Amino acid sequence: MNLSKYLSAALVGIAMIASAAVAQETETKVVDEVVAQVNDGVITLSSVSREVKGAVESKVQEGMKLEDAQKLIDSKRGELIANLINEELILQKAKELGVDGDVDSDINARFLGIMKQYNLKTLDELYAEMRKQGADPVEIRELWRKQATKDRVIQKEVQMKVYWKPTTKDLKAYYEAHKGKFTKGETVGMSELFLGFAGNDENAVREKAKKLVKYVRDGADFTKVVTSYSDRPDAAQNKGKVDPMPVKDLNEKFAAAIKGLKVGEITEPIEVDETGISILHIDSRTEASNESQFDEQAIRVEMMKENIEAEQKKFMATLRQESYIKINDTYRPLVSPILFAEERAATKPSKAN
């Protein structure tokens, strides 16, 4: 069993957070300092130090020299503290909205998904395997919980409101002005044969994939091959079938692999990430058309894309305006210009023409 590849892809930031925490524990203890008060919460110097250490180590892992990484992150300390304050505001908003239960369910489902992928029968077994790979399940859960909580708040308070804001009249007006965006693109229906690296020799999996491709091209039934060999837990039930989707929405490697293939043909083995290999069978293809079509969902998505960044900034500005934020005098000159940039821009008088 080897979870290291999965963990390295799915848990970006865990290692640097853990090492930063360990490093802090080994340092001489000092009285902590409140950098900022955010309503009933606080941002402490120790939490800032952990973020700095993690950010520096991340840059070092990317290939930057330690001295250069430290200098770069030190220059961004004000931005880092501002981000921590904004994060605290979102987490407080999450409690007000009561999304904690949904987040916990999402995290539990995520752990169960990994457990099933690696054929582990209990969460305790999964946690033990994670610890063997140097990852702390408690830290992982907290990192995922925090990110999922922020995502839930932004989705509920910003994305969904922006998505549903346009009226029917707005949608029709946008469609008429942007018909070129709503032509019918090429769609493709596929089935997938997946061979996982977990618990297997990767080179052996690659050789197996090549042999299965040849086996199918020599006449074997792809559906039966999927049922017999795929490592997807639900392969026996769904036969590896994937709902038809626009080619433009495919992963770049998948899109490149199926280019030029006809219905009934299969791709070469594709390594999209470090979890395994996919082989795709083309079940159906629908050619693109220059004819525009009114698709309410697609139009709402496009309008949301155009407005989401500005609306999210407005949302965060409102959170700050409605909150009590007191920044330590030592850090205020460093943090305030960044934290309240949107508010200052909104109140800044325009220049006369």
Average pLDDT over residues 316-341: 96
Report yes or no on 177 lying in a domain.
no
CATH code (residue 257): 3.10.50.40
Q: What phi and psi, each to the nearest 5 degrees, are found at residue 220?
A: -65, 150
Reported as a pLDDT band with limits 50, 70 and 90, residue 188 is: very high
Pick from 46, 43, 55, 52: nearest CA to 13: 55
**Do residues 257 and 192 make contact, with C-beta atoms less than 8 angstroms apart?**
no
Q: Which of 286, 304, 320 is the last residue of a domain?
A: 286
In the predicted structure, residue 193 carries a pLDDT above the cut 60? yes
In the predicted structure, residue 167 carries a pLDDT above the cut 60? yes
Average pLDDT over residues 161-169: 97
Kindly state whether residues 221 and 130 are assigned to the same domain.
no
Q: Which residue has the tokens 């360990």?
A: 22
**Looking at the 3D structure of the chain, how many domains does it have?**
2
State the average pLDDT for the chain: 87
Q: Which residue has the tokens 């709503």?
A: 182
Quote the domain boundaries for residue 116: 4-164
Report yes or no on 300 lying in a domain.
no
DSSP of 168-228: HHHHHHHHHH-GGGGB---EEEEEEEEEE-TTS-HHHHHHHHHHHHHHHHTT--HHHHHHH
Average pLDDT over residues 274-299: 92
Report yes or no on 297 lying in a domain.
no
Kindly state whether residues 154 and 11 are assigned to the same domain.
yes
Report yes or no on 254 lying in a domain.
yes
Cross-sheet strand order for the sheet of 276-286: 241-246, 187-196, 276-286
List pLDDT tens digits, range 260-276.
999 999 999 999 777 89
pLDDT at 349: 56
Kindly state whether residues 157 and 11 are assigned to the same domain.
yes
Average pLDDT over residues 175-180: 95
Average pLDDT over residues 161-172: 97
Kindly state whether residues 146 and 9 are assigned to the same domain.
yes
Report yes or no on 326 lying in a domain.
no
Report yes or no on 295 lying in a domain.
no
Average pLDDT over residues 134-161: 92
Reported as a pLDDT band with limits 50, 70 and 90, residue 339 is: very high
Average pLDDT over residues 278-306: 93
CATH code (residue 113): 1.10.4030.10
List pLDDT tens digits, range 198-254.
777 889 999 999 999 999 999 999 999 999 999 887 888 899 998 899 898 898 999
Region of poorest pLDDT, from 106-115, 151-160, 203-212 = 106-115
pLDDT at 31: 61
Reported as a pLDDT band with limits 50, 70 and 90, residue 102 is: confident
Kindly state whether residues 39 and 142 are assigned to the same domain.
yes
Region of poorest pLDDT, from 54-58, 113-117, 130-134, 233-237 = 113-117
Percent of the chain's residues with pLDDT above 70: 89
Q: Which two tokens stand for residue 348?
A: 């800044």
Report yes or no on 313 lying in a domain.
no
pLDDT at 66: 95
**Do residues 1 and 129 make contact, with C-beta atoms less than 8 angstroms apart?**
yes
pLDDT at 201: 86
pLDDT at 243: 87
In the predicted structure, residue 20 carries a pLDDT above the cut 90? no
**Torsional sign, CA 258, 261, 265, 268:** negative
In the predicted structure, residue 337 carries a pLDDT above the cut 90? yes
Q: Which residue has the tokens 């250069």?
A: 68
List b or e across 154-193, with b for residues whose CB sees 16 or more CB atoms inside 10 angstroms.
beebbeeebbeebeeeebeebbeeeeeebeeeebbbbbbb
Residue type, position 107, single letter = I
pLDDT at 290: 86
Kindly state whether residues 42 and 190 are assigned to the same domain.
no
pLDDT at 348: 64
pLDDT at 1: 45
Average pLDDT over residues 33-48: 96
Reported as a pLDDT band with limits 50, 70 and 90, residue 27 is: very low
Report yes or no on 256 lying in a domain.
yes
Which has the higher per-residue pLDDT, 180 or 199? Answer: 180
